Amino acid sequence: MVKLMQVYEGKAKKVISLDEGKVIMEFKDDVTAFDGGKKAQFRGKGWLNAQISAHLFRVLEEKGIKTHFIGVAGENRLIVERLRMYPLEVVVRNVVAGSLKRRLPLEEGTELPEPIVELYYKDDSLHDPMINRYHAKILGVSEAELGEIERIALNVNEILREYFRGRGIILVDFKLEFGKNERGEIVLGDEISPDTCRFWDAETKKSLDKDVFRFDKGDLINAYEELYTRLTG
């Protein structure tokens, strides 16, 4: 018999242990912003994030990116490979927005001449601070591992930018997380959803992501549903 045991609950997901090196990611309807300072629930958000993540993992797998995705296990659940996660959030930026706008003398919406890769230490108690490669090595991530993580992240960016461009969407920036599987391979984990990415309509620059909630730009579910339809329709 398969044993189910919750091993983690975050702001937007639960992780439930399965036998045979697998876990279930359960996507919640909760949404937070500004380090949890703004919170709400939207019925159906968990389903949309699960389905969008599953779809994008399939797109990446077809292009040769190794991910932890195994399959869909219900409306808001994915079965994924158990990974030993790196304590890093890897952010790839293509367009000036969000915190980058506050750190560089560039206007929001400026397309960068090349993607920027940023590292953040994944720790809620420290508010996920930005770090550099030296910090990452102190945290136990080797130079070789960092190089491979960056290579994969940039490859993911190239694949997804082209994919979204064909659907009239700009991939502004996004967050990735990585881990090692039982075979010692570095694998893309976590999720790829409008909770963790910025998506703009290519013509209107309308947000199709969590910024809709963060900055009161309209109806969050309508934005997520539009993104889902444009990806899968």
* pLDDT tens digits, one per residue of 39-82: 999 999 999 999 999 999 999 999 999 999 999 998 999 999 99
Q: What are the residue ranges of helices labelled H in the chain?
A: 45-62, 99-103, 133-138, 143-165, 211-214, 220-232
5-81 falls under which CATH superfamily? Phosphorylase Kinase; domain 1 (3.30.200.20)
CATH of 84-219, one of 3.40.50.720, 3.40.50.300, 3.30.470.20, 3.30.1180.20: 3.30.470.20
Which pLDDT tens digit goes with each residue over 132-177?
A: 999 999 999 999 999 999 999 999 999 999 999 999 999 999 999 9
What is the structure's pLDDT at 35? 87
Q: What are the residue ranges of helices labelled H in 63-97?
A: none
Are the beta carbons of 128 and 89 closer than 8 angstroms? yes
Which pLDDT tens digit goes with each residue over 110-129?
A: 999 999 999 999 999 999 99
Residue 62: what residue type? E
Give the global pTM. Answer: 0.96
Q: Which residues contact 47 (CB under 8 A, 6 or more apart)?
A: 27, 75, 76
Place of tokens 């960068």: 112
Which pLDDT tens digit goes with each residue over 9-22?
A: 999 999 999 988 99
Residue 198 has pLDDT above 60, yes or no: yes
Give 3's pLDDT tier (boundaries 50, 70, 90): low
Q: Where are the domains of the chain?
A: 5-81, 84-219
